[in-house]
A = this chain, B = another copy of it.
């Protein structure tokens, strides 16, 4: 009993220490992470890290994204400073999207996660299969 209470207390102290004195609300890291955590954000970052692409090219590259979400996700990435949008006055006008310096910098970190996923996706699939089998 007492040990449980003491245990909880020590944990709550850690809780206060998390992310520089506050709790997880108002955490500046959080909004940055959430900006990247959209369903399509990392995918588009991967594509644009490879090379600049135009709107239609991205749409073909990620066939199951809707035009609406492509527009919106690119807008959000541009707003956060990761992506540069340039309109060329050709006919019809073409729009090219590319990574900014900030975007390339962020992709460097994101890349670690992508590499991990490449190495471990079979382990994750295995865990998922085991879990589903155990549930049934």
Contact = CB atoms under 8 A, between A and B. Distances in A.
Interface of A: 4, 8, 11-12, 14-15, 18, 23-25, 28-39, 41-43, 46-47, 50-51, 53, 57, 60-64, 78-81, 90, 102, 105-106, 108-110, 112-118, 120-128, 130-132
16 contacts: A4-B90, A11-B57, A15-B60, A23-B63, A30-B43, A31-B124, A32-B117, A32-B120, A32-B121, A33-B42, A34-B39, A36-B37, A81-B126, A102-B120, A109-B115, A113-B113
Interface of A, secondary structure class, is helix
B29 A114 contact: yes
Given A37-B39, A109-B115, A123 B81 contact: yes
A125 B28 contact: yes
Contacts of A23: 60-63
B102 A109 contact: no
A61 B15 contact: yes
**Which are the 4 A-B pairs with shortest beta-carbon distances?**
A81-B127, A109-B116, A32-B117, A28-B121
A127 B18 CA distance: 26
Contacts of A114: 29, 33
